[in-house]
Amino acid sequence: MYVLHKKLWPGKGTVITKSYMILYSVHDKHEFRTGFYISRHIMDNLLDFAPVSERICKTKVKLTYYNLTLISAHAPTEEKVEVVKEEFYSSLEKVCVAVPNDDMKTLLGDFSAKDGKESYLYPACGGHSVHNKTNNNGKLMINSALERDVPVTGI
């Protein structure tokens, strides 16, 4: 397996191996990385790759009946200042809204979030969390999901 290493892959680009393609975006200071591993057998169906920032990128794949847009995100950690978090979620919102309505859209990533067992979270996450209390990043992510009426899984 390849690792997105600053000395090997700075900036934005594509690496093609025998069995898969790697689409990546690495911050100039090499602090953040985001990207996709795309199986070689669907490479011909790849329609687009857009590295939005060091924390967000998206790709579009043509499927049989519709297009699939995948958005990869790496949210600021809990200790980052609120301005950085707000900028991230604002940018993520713009990317999500720009996806055509007839595309299937999936948001993937690390949101440094913990969802708790609070009852107001049930519409987005259900009540089966391993955490008792939601952290601030969890609230940001879940509120963003609730605004779009989207379920949250795997946090």
What confidence score (pLDDT) does residue 140 get?
81
**pLDDT score at 91:** 93
Claim to verify: residue 42 and residue 108 sit in the same structural domain = yes
Q: For CA atoms 84, 108, 66, 143, give the dihedral sign.
A: negative
36: domain range? 1-112
Q: Residue for token digits 């009852």? A: 119
* Amino acid 90: pLDDT: 92
Q: What is the pLDDT of residue 117?
A: 74
Structural domain tally of the chain?
2
CATH of the domain at 88: 3.60.10.10
The mean pLDDT of the chain is 80
Please indicate, yes or no, whether residues 6 and 28 belong to a single structural domain of this protein: yes
Q: Which residue ranges in the chain fall short of pLDDT 70?
A: 1-10, 27-32, 127, 149-150, 154-155
Are both 129 and 85 inside the same structural domain?
no
pLDDT of residue 10: 61
Same-domain check for residues 68 and 119: no
Co-location of 78 and 14 in the same domain? yes
